């Protein structure tokens, strides 16, 4: 039994920023396959003044402009009635930082609405109408459009049958809690740099073991913080200790 397309609505004051992302790569493929539908809603279409205004100066004074509540909530109310489990998120610096586990949870929804923050901030009353808030990290973008494209891509690629090889997604960095291993393709030698012989051996067991050990080493070097939250086998731990890893000792209280 086929499931209905995963629905994503992106509410934005600058929909043109999102045009290219929706028409290329995985987002395009998913929509062509009928597995996802991504629709960008122009907040300016939900205004009633001739300038199509969506921002205004803050009450009480201060620098910058504020995204107005009225066009955002009008746009929300104009969406079709939810056909399944729908959640609404504001993209803002104070939101929870998006990680792969959260992306996997969001991919289990039926529908997702992303409100792109912009300007100095948003009218606080917008937060009355949302499920939660999301952020890509501790840095500032000019608006939520680029973040919305990232989130849509991260979710859609996890939907069944979107990727040609779903196992590829299962092995991605962060999916297992670790960074992914190194990969190589043709030619076997380039500028004196050779592919590790084990990858040419044809021995699947040895290849998988090499990739696991390489994944652990890359994680230790580049993101050692991820190791503390990962499920490590005794073999994993022994390999890491050879590389100089010292697990953090936790005291039960």
Mean pLDDT computed over every residue of the chain: 91
Q: What is the pLDDT of residue 172?
A: 53
Helix (H) or strand (E) holding 239: helix 234-242
- Residue 63: pLDDT band by 50, 70, 90 thresholds? very high
Report the length, in residues, of the chain: 253
Ligand-binding site membership of 112 (annotated):
no
Max Cα distance, the chain (Å): 70
Each as own residue / partner, the long-range contacts of residues 233-239 (CB below 8 Å, 24 or more positions apart, any chain) are: 236/212, 239/213
202 is in an annotated binding site: no
Is 138 annotated in a binding site? The answer is yes
Q: What is the pLDDT of residue 1?
A: 47
Residue 252 among known ligand-binding residues? no
The confidence band for 174, taking pLDDT boundaries of 50, 70 and 90, is low
Does position 159 have pLDDT exceeding 60, yes or no?
yes
Residue 56 marked as a ligand binder: no
62 is in an annotated binding site: no
The two structure tokens encoding residue 172? 């991605």
Q: Is 140 annotated as a binding residue?
A: yes
Say if CB 38 and CB 145 are below 8 A apart.
no
Contact 117, 143 (CB under 8 A): yes
Helices (H), 83-144: 100-106
């Amino acid at each position: 039994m086929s499931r209905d397309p995963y629905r994503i609505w992106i509410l934005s004051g600058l929909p043109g920023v999102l045009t290219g992302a929706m028409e290329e790569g995985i987002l395009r493929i998913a929509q062509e396959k009928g597995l996802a539908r991504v629709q960008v809603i122009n907040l300016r279409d939900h205004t009633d003044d001739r300038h199509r205004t969506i921002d205004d100066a803050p009450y009480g004074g201060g620098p910058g402009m504020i995204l107005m509540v009225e066009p955002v909530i009008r746009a929300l109310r104009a969406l079709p009635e939810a056909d399944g489990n729908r959640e609404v998120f504001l993209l803002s610096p104070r939101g929870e930082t998006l990680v792969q586990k959260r992306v996997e949870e969001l991919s289990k929804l039926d529908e997702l609405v992303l409100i792109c923050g912009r300007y100095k901030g948003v009218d606080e009353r917008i937060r009355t109408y949302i499920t939660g808030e999301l952020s890509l990290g501790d840095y500032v973008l000019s608006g939520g459009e680029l973040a919305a494209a990232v989130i849509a891509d991260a979710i859609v690629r996890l939907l069944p049958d979107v990727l040609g090889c779903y196992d590829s997604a299962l092995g991605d960095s962060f999916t297992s809690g670790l960074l992914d291993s190194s990969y190589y393709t043709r030619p076997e030698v380039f500028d004196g740099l050779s592919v590790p012989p084990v990858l040419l051996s044809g021995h699947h067991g040895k290849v998988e073991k090499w990739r696991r050990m390489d994944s652990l080493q890359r994680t230790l070097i580049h993101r050692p913080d991820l190791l503390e939250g990962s499920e490590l086998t005794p073999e994993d731990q022994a390999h890491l200790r050879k590389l100089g890893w010292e697990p953090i000792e936790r005291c039960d209280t």
